[in-house]
A = this chain, B = another copy of it.
Amino acid sequence: MAESATSLKEVALKAGVSISTVSRVLSGTDYVHEKTRSRVLAVVRELNYRPNMMARSLKLGKTNAIALMIPSIDNMIFPPIVRGVEDIARAQDYVVTLCNTDDNPDTEARYIQKLCNMGVDGIIDATLRKESQRITDLRDEGFPVVLTSRNYDNSLDAIVIDNYASAYEMTSFLISRGYRHIAFAMGDAQLLLYANRLSGYTQALLDHGLPFDKELVMYELDNPNSFYPLVKDLVKRIPSVDAVFASNDLRAIIIMRALRDLGLHIPQDIGVVGFDDIPISTFMDPPLTTIHQPLYEIGVQAAKRLIQQIQNKTEKGILDSPRIEILETKLTVRDSTK
Contact = CB atoms under 8 A, between A and B. Distances in A.
A63 B74 CA distance: 27
Interface string A49-63: 011111101100001
Nearest to A100: B86
A81 to B, nearest CB: 10
Q: How many copies does the complex hold?
A: 2
Chain A residues touching B, majority SS: helix
A253 B80 CA distance: 19
B74 A113 contact: no
A119 B55 CA distance: 10
A86 B98 contact: yes
A54 B118 contact: yes
A254 interface: yes
B73 A63 contact: no
A141 B4 CA distance: 9
Interface stretch (A157-165, A208-216, A277-285, A320-328): A277-285
Interface string A98-140: 1110000001000101111111000000000000000001001
B65 A74 contact: no
The list of the 10 closest CB pairs from A to B, nearest first, reads A285-B285, A54-B58, A98-B98, A73-B79, A53-B118, A53-B117, A54-B57, A54-B119, A253-B283, A74-B79
A37 interface: no
B285 A260 contact: yes
Contacts of A52: 58, 117, 119
Contact of A98 (B57, B96, B114): B96
Interface of A: 1-2, 4, 50-55, 57-58, 63, 65, 72-74, 76, 78-80, 82-83, 86-87, 90, 93, 95-100, 107, 111, 113-119, 137, 140-141, 253-254, 256-257, 260, 279-280, 283-285
Contact of A117 (B50, B117, B140, B260): B50
